[in-house]
Amino acid sequence: MNLTRRDLLSSIGVGAIASLAGCGYQAAGGERVWESRQQIAHTTTIVAGETALFGARQYSGRQFDWDREQWYDAEETVLTKYDPHGYDGSFARFEPQYAIPPVVTDSYVFIGGSTGEVVAVNSTESEFGDVTWRYQTDQDIHTLVATESIVACYTADEQLLALDPTSGNERWQTRVNSRSELNCVAIGEQVLFVTVDDNTVHIASIMDGDEQWTAQYLQPAADSHHELIDVAVHDDTLIISLHNPDTETDTILAINSTDGSVRWSIEPMPQAIGAAPIVTSEHVYVPVRRGLITYGFTHGEHRWDLDATYRRQSSVVADRRGVYLFAQIDGRPNPRLLALSPGGEHRWDTYLGDDFSRIGALYLCGETLITRASSRFYGFRTTPGRRLSLW
């Protein structure tokens, strides 16, 4: 095996940390604790679960079937699991190729296939990669959502199908007429559709195949046109972010999922939204251009802004301890990994070297921050460590 200088130094560094761990050492918050051994193809689609990342890529080519002892033409999905400790040795391959990004729950990775098939793949450590069930639809799958209680897919002929996540048995189906833009989310066994039609936001709630309620929200200007940025869900609240390309202004709506009532709204936002808001039980973190604005989750009151010294360089993730992001500091060449408390106080920041000139998305798995930079994953510790003397 040929090791590059970079691979050798990286292996020595990670090995040193592992050795020190046996002496009572724990990496401090922001310290790099691992990097992936294998390079990540740029075509890989990454989805995050609570305790692991999953990378899906499409494969086309000849494969050998050892059971039948013959070659065949494969059109497959290759699924790789990356745990918070950097282990990337678990992978599975199966037909068909995925057509939309996979969806992750605690127990499964659900694939919407190019053939209109829904595939449930076991995501647990002991049985990872086992195909638990398959369900064949008659149309292409446009949207796939899942919770521990339901799997719902919206097909090209405007049919909404609800499946049991454990068995794949169909529970119900109904027709949902789509409008210009559509986003589908699930809360428990409830499926909600959010669509935008010119200056009106439409929401439909469906449970057990029946429409529970519908709601419409008119924007202030009758001639305004809005585009849907994202829909985030926490507990029983939808956080809907909208963009108006005519006025270059953005809006946030907080909607009660039980009846469609507006809990609070911010219109217009003081700055343009730069990425999907991140929602916790206490805060709504809104990435804007190169900054971050924080609002209260319950009432939408303004809490704090990211210090102007920092300029946001990546997506944002959050947990009960606060919020994490890559940020550029004026006058410094490379971005830093920054951790702030829920109240906006500085917790720690870490200088990043030349490996991080091209930063991808930031993910949070357990107590590990994971980012994709260039062609590798890197893991960073989120919590303060314990540095003991070796002597």
Average pLDDT over residues 183-204: 86
C-alpha–C-alpha distance, residues 50 and 2, integer Å:
35
Choice among 179-193, 266-280, 336-350 with the minimum mean pLDDT = 179-193
Query: How much of the chain, in percent, has pLDDT values that exceed 70?
Result: 87
Taken in order of first residue, the domains within the chain and their CATH numbers are 1-30+270-391 (2.130.10.10), 42-175 (2.130.10.10)
What is the tens place of the pLDDT at every residue in 221-249? 656 678 888 999 999 999 999 888 888 88
How many C-beta neighbours within 10 Å does residue 154 have?
A: 22
The pLDDT mean for the chain works out to: 84
Partners of 231 in the beta sheet? 240
Higher pLDDT, 243 or 21: 243
Element (H, E) at 10: helix 5-21
Instruction: Kindly tell me if the per-residue pLDDT of 269 is higher than 50.
Output: yes
Q: Give the tokens for residue 202.
A: 């439409």
Backbone angles phi, psi at 163, to 5 degrees: -120, 155
**Integer angstrom CA distances of residue 366 from 51, 85, 233, 299, 326:** 5, 10, 19, 28, 19
C-alpha–C-alpha distance, residues 106 and 54, integer Å:
12
pLDDT interval class at 357 (50, 70, 90): low
pLDDT interval class at 390 (50, 70, 90): very low
Q: What is the DSSP string of 148-204?
A: SS-EEEEETTSEEEEE-TTT--EEEEEE----SEEEEEEETTEEEEEEEETTEEEEE
Whole-number pLDDT of residue 329? 78
Q: Contact, 295 vs 266, CB < 8 A?
A: yes
Q: Can you say how many angstroms the Cα of residue 39 is from the centroid of all Cα atoms in its chain?
A: 21
Instruction: Kindly tell me if the per-residue pLDDT of 379 is higher than 80.
Output: yes
Q: Contact, 253 vs 269, CB < 8 A?
A: no
Q: To which residue do tokens 């189906």 refer?
A: 173
Q: Contact, 311 vs 348, CB < 8 A?
A: no
Instruction: Kindly tell me if the per-residue pLDDT of 282 is higher than 60.
Output: yes
How many C-beta neighbours within 10 Å does residue 195 have?
A: 19
Q: Among candidates 295, 350, 294, which has minimal Cα distance to 326?
A: 350
Q: What angle do CA 177, 277, 30 make, to 5 degrees?
A: 140
Higher pLDDT, 38 or 80: 80
Instruction: Kindly tell me if the per-residue pLDDT of 106 is higher than 70.
Output: yes
pLDDT interval class at 351 (50, 70, 90): confident
C-alpha–C-alpha distance, residues 90 and 81, integer Å:
5
Choice among 8-12, 117-121, 330-334 with the minimum mean pLDDT = 8-12
Choice among 146-155, 198-207, 208-217 with the minimum mean pLDDT = 198-207
Average pLDDT over residues 133-139: 95
Average pLDDT over residues 86-110: 88
Q: Among candidates 242, 282, 240, 281, which has minimal Cα distance to 257?
A: 240
Average pLDDT over residues 110-137: 92
